[in-house]
Amino acid sequence: MKFKNFVKKNKSFCFFAVLALLIILAAVFAPLITGGVDPAASVLKDALQRPGGAHLFGTDKLGRDIFTRVIYGARTSLVAAFSVVLIIFVLGTALGVLSGYFGGWVDTVIMRIADMMVSFPDMVFAMAIAGILGASIRNAVIAVALVSWTKYARLARSLVLKIRNRDYVAAAVVTGSKTPYILMRYMVPNVIPTLIITAATDIGGMMLELAGLSFLGFGAKAPTPEWGLMLNEGRPFIQSAPWLMIYPGAAIFVVVVVFNLLGDALRDVLDVRDE
Amino acid sequence: MNAKQLGKRLLQIVLVALGISFLTFLITYLAPGDPVRTMFAATGMMPSEEVVQETREAMGLNRPMLVQYVSWLQNCLRGDFGTSYAYHKPVAGLLMDRLWPTLKLSISAMFLMLLVAVPVGMAQATHKNSVVDYALRGVTFFGVSMPNFWVGLLLMLFFCVRLQLLPVVSSAGDIKSLILPSVTLAFAMSAKYTRQVRTAILEELNQDYVTGAMARGVAEWKILWMNVFPNSLLPLITMLGLSLGSLLGGTAVVEVIFSYPGMGSLAVAAITAYDYPLIQGYVLWISLIYMLVNLAVDISYSYVDPRMREGRQRL
């Protein structure tokens, strides 16, 4: 009955979790939903068809089915956004905890690097890195991760500093606990909840940044079905085929809204301070 | 800010600027691919191995990294940011030509944003948890979740294609072509900023002096504009400075959509063409602008909050 109580208590969280799960399932079972249509299959005689009939969202200049590409695009976006968040979560937590626990030169080096990264406008730096590494989803993920880890490191560091001088930590040191044990047993569990909330609220934003990079041509490469790239490819047809820019954009929007709301709801669930 | 603080801040600025320049240099230094070959490729020539080696030597690319960095930095300090591979012109001149259009775009976007975000945020704060507040919170929430390039494309679709009110392709000079790019930029930013205005004003409204003034029967608008707003300026200005980062990044996307001739669209073309000197110049310039604006924000604190003038600690 515990589950039922949880659902009753956190209605909005459960609602958005179900929506997010539906999106993820749509991505996983893309071939089933699209009826086995190949997202890269071009049928030139069907080029630039209006939405409706055989093609729910219409077709692009190569006669590829937009609906299929939008559904498959969820795979690209979700995998990329989750990778970024996972990377910055692990990297930021590790660096922040080390920085806060050891202090001294370790702290100085890590935090000065973080300071430097903050002095660049995110998108500008990510654009330069992704572009120079060469256009690909992987490089876009690397670029966004490189500019975004600092927030997590700072947060983890400040949380560690709060408990660093508590008696129980001192007691652990005195009774001969090994440093790695103290880090994993006391420091990391202390920072995890706050960082999970941050990570959850960041998923939507990361999706937007990644789609932006792809839109500029520094992310996914054709013929990958990716929403930002699809918008870019549809741009020349704004007058003749506006549906090319309605559906992929709407897909980004809906998915980002769901994950942003889920992040907010998760904060309410995990944040005990409000109670 | 007193002299000592200013000196400390300036030293910090120099260090940050050095860091920025080093990272900028590092991006292109570590870039895969040989700059000499890239340069020749840009001109359409296929050089022999000998020519490549000679050019490498002549450009000083065989020297140790730090030596290269120092000489690059010296040139930058002299105002020489190198020569663009693609345009065969000095980078400084190319960026200079595009600087004003981009600044004009950023400033008008920021102005638009303030025009929307401040009154809306205040209205939300004064009518907390009312229907208006919830409705506007919903709107700002959707605004934050919309990709700026999609907003730009939709605006273009509606105003340029359907209504044919505005030109599809922007030109630098004319005011009409500034409208949609700045509205697009302002859109996402005002959504974010409105939320921050709301929070800042709400925090100030909870202060005792507000209750006191209310009790004494001071008109509500007077309290709001004469006390609450000036008092919440500090966090608002700080957040404005920080949001400039996303604004400057956003200009690139928006300039590309509207074919607006600014630094951003130049940079996107430069990155696509692996035009390293131009990329370096762009990243360096934009970061320095961002840094200077935030310095200006820091200095403005002492005007907004007189308590900081006497060298007291920032609260």
A120 touches chain B (CB under 8 A): yes
Q: Are B271 and B279 in contact (CB under 8 A)?
A: yes
Encode pLDDT of B200-222 as tens digits: 998 888 889 888 988 998 888 88
Contact across the interface for A121 and B287, Cβ inside 8 Å? yes
CA–CA separation, B90 vs B314, rounded Å? 43
pLDDT value at position B171? 58
Distances (CA, A) of A141 to A136, B19, B179, B225: 9, 23, 33, 45
Under an 8 A CB cutoff, do A123 and B252 touch?
yes
**Cβ within 8 Å of A, B 117-136:** none
State residue B112's pLDDT score: 92
Give the pLDDT confidence of B155-198 residue by residue, as tens digits: 888 888 777 777 666 555 567 778 888 999 998 888 889 988 99
- Note the pLDDT of residue B168: 65
Tell me, yes or no, if B27 comes closer than 8 A to chain A by beta carbon.
yes
Averaged pLDDT of chain B: 83
Mean pLDDT (whole number) for B71-87: 86
Answer whether A216 touches B (CB < 8 Å): yes
Of the candidates B16, B147, B286, the beta carbon closest to that of A212 is on: B147
pLDDT digits (tens, 9 = 90+) for A94-146: 999 999 999 889 998 898 888 888 878 888 888 888 888 888 999 999 999 99
pLDDT digits (tens, 9 = 90+) for B248-304: 888 888 988 888 888 989 999 988 888 888 988 999 898 888 888 888 888 887 777
Pick out chain A residues at pLDDT < 50.
274-275
pLDDT digits (tens, 9 = 90+) for B116-146: 999 999 889 888 888 988 998 888 888 888 8
> What is A79-270's CATH number, 1.10.3720.10, 3.40.50.10860, 2.60.110.10, 3.40.630.20?
1.10.3720.10
CB-based contact B161 A242, cutoff 8 Å: yes
Distance between CA atoms of residues B186 and B180, nearest Å: 10
Question: In a mutagenesis test of the A interface, which of B14, B153, B184 is the best target, namely the one with the most A β-carbons within 10 Å?
Answer: B153
Q: Residue ranges per domain, chain A?
A: 79-270
Quote the pLDDT of residue A240.
Answer: 81
Q: DSSP letters of A87-143?
A: HHHHHHHHHHHHHHHH-HHHHHHHHHHHHHHHTS-HHHHHHHHHHHH-S-HHHHHHH
Question: What was the pLDDT predicted at B12?
Answer: 79
Mapped onto helix, strand or coil, the DSSP state of residue A55 is: strand
Q: Please name the helix (run of DSSP H) or strand (run of DSSP E) that holds residue A262, with its range, or none.
A: helix A243-270
Q: Which residues of B touch A239 (CB under 8 A)?
A: 161
Can you tell me which residue has the tokens 């930013």?
A: B189
Residues of chain B contacting residue A260, judged by C-beta atoms under 8 Å apart: 141, 144-145
Per DSSP, helices labelled H in chain B are 3-29, 35-43, 49-59, 65-77, 91-126, 131-145, 148-155, 176-205, 208-215, 220-222, 229-231, 233-257, 263-272, 276-304
Q: Do B141 and A257 touch (CB under 8 A)?
A: yes
Distance, CA of A177 to chain centre: 36
In this predicted structure, which of A201-205, B2-6, B243-247, B258-262 has the lowest mean pLDDT? B2-6
